[in-house]
Chain A
Amino acid sequence: MVADDRKYSQEHEWVLVEGEFGTVGVTEYAASELGDVVFVELPEVGSEVNMGESVGTIESVKAVADLFTPVTGEVVEVNDAVVDSPELVNSEPLDGGWLMKIRLTEPTELEQLLTASDYAALLGG
């Protein structure tokens, strides 16, 4: 059950590309592994981020995880709703629990990301 409208990173983030923007979140698997998310720290709007770098943190009761950006670009929007209601990461990881929107400056790097079936295989393996 991996949504096939988006691409995935090895670190269990997803990116949904629409034109020059990519919306980023974490996968259901990541949300479930983390357990109840209680705090989310997101990057500043306007900051430049590079593929694979840690740009924020996701805290659950049990552990803290880095939020890695799967794409390079400029953060144009962050999801304030998820900052106020971090449980959205668990309840709606693929839509309401999105984390940030990035203007892609290196769109070719999308090819390095996993397709839905690759990601499914990663989870399955």
Chain B
Amino acid sequence: MNESKCLRETPLSQWHRAHDGRMVEFAGYSMPVQYKTGVLAEHAAVREKVGIFDITHMGEIMVEGGGAEQWLEGLVTNKILGIAPGKVVYTAMCQDDGGVLDDMLIYRLAKHRWLVVCNAANHDKILTWFQIHQPGKDVVIDDASYRTALIAIQGPNSHQLITRLEAIRPHTDSVGQLDFYTSLNVVVGGAEWVVSRTGYTGEHGYEIYVPNDMALSLWQELITKGEEFGVVPVGLAARDTLRFEVCYCLYGHELSEDTTPLEAGIGWAVKFKKADYIGKEALQKQKAAGVPRLLIGLEVAGRTIARQSAQVMSQNQLLGQVTSGNYSPTLRRSLALALVASGVPDRELQVEVRGKVYPCHAVPIPFLSARVKGDPRAERTLPA
């Protein structure tokens, strides 16, 4: 046991342990990686029914004041200037050289109130980055991470489940009408909750930010009310396989300080028709010169998984590296995302795993299409 290591708990940690959650260290937190039913069952529940996730480890930073909008706009690659209150934007935050500090969601909660949701592992770095970049007098930064719990409800039955919650009445109708990438602030028991139509699974889903002391009762109600919709608690392992199939970037894998958002395939979240922001010049230059690497999908032959750092080659020439690789529970095959030199010839490739070379070939990404908009039960067209 690691007595020496003091890990942060979430308001749900005790619940996870009591329900056979296998706890692991993740970004300084003790988090459930899976429950007894296993990763595959949790994964399938989210694709077919509904799953709930404790993702309290995520960082929540409030940015408030009259200067917040302009200041934040100068730090991120996507455009947040002028978005309506209730809108959520996915963006990268870059260094001067275009390397990604983190990817994040930015919520405009009100005219002068913004919520920045960053990765747990980057929380301290982003806070420091904010301090270095002098927000000025009319910007107030308030780190809400350690008082805020975050629960995600994901899957085709998530709408039925969330609209059945006693906890969000009398806001049920407005929550039920949330569009993709919009949010709502609701007052529950005198406290502010934020509910958004967002997620990291590629399914119709919601994320709810609540004060720590209200998380357990919400979670328990989700379990009880969710029974008829097939709800299961889902750990971090299935959260990873779910995001992997729909090819959402994971910081530390597809994204890092040595990778630009253009390379990682999130160029759609990089805008050049906006005022200066950190990294803009470098990204513009990279785009003009030609992006040197790109993220591709691979299907690996046989019964092995090419995980992060596996080398991708073509006729003994090193092309790049796998950023994430796993068995796709939905597609039932070994897939990988790899960052490789641009202009990879469209021929047979190889990947090296534990000293052995396995054939693989490029496949279109995302591996599986997301169902975040429109019919949550839309038929998926699975590749052959």
Give chain A's interface residues, CB within 8 Å of chain B: 35-36, 38-41, 57, 59-62, 64, 83, 87, 90
Contact = CB atoms under 8 A, between A and B. Distances in A.
A35 B38 contact: yes
B241 interface: yes
Contact of B303 (A59, A60, A61, A87): A59
Interface in B297-338: 302-305, 307, 326-327, 329, 334
B304 A35 contact: no
Interface of B: 33-34, 38-40, 237, 241, 302-305, 307, 326-327, 329, 334, 354
Contacts, number: 45
A29 B231 CA distance: 27
Nearest to B40: A36
Nearest to A61: B39
Q: Residue among A35, A64, A83 with the most chain B CB within 10 A?
A: A35
B34 A59 contact: no
Given A61-B39, A61-B327, A90-B38, A40 B241 contact: no
Contacts of B39: 35-36, 60-62
Q: Residue among B241, B304, B305, B326 with the most chain A CB within 10 A?
A: B305
Given A40-B303, A41-B303, A41-B304, A35 B34 contact: yes
A57 B304 contact: yes
Contact of A35 (B237, B329, B354): B237
Contact of A38 (B34, B327, B354): B327
A59 B327 contact: yes
Given A38-B329, A64-B304, 10 more contacts: A35-B39, A38-B305, A41-B302, A59-B303, A59-B304, A59-B305, A59-B327, A61-B39, A61-B326, A83-B303
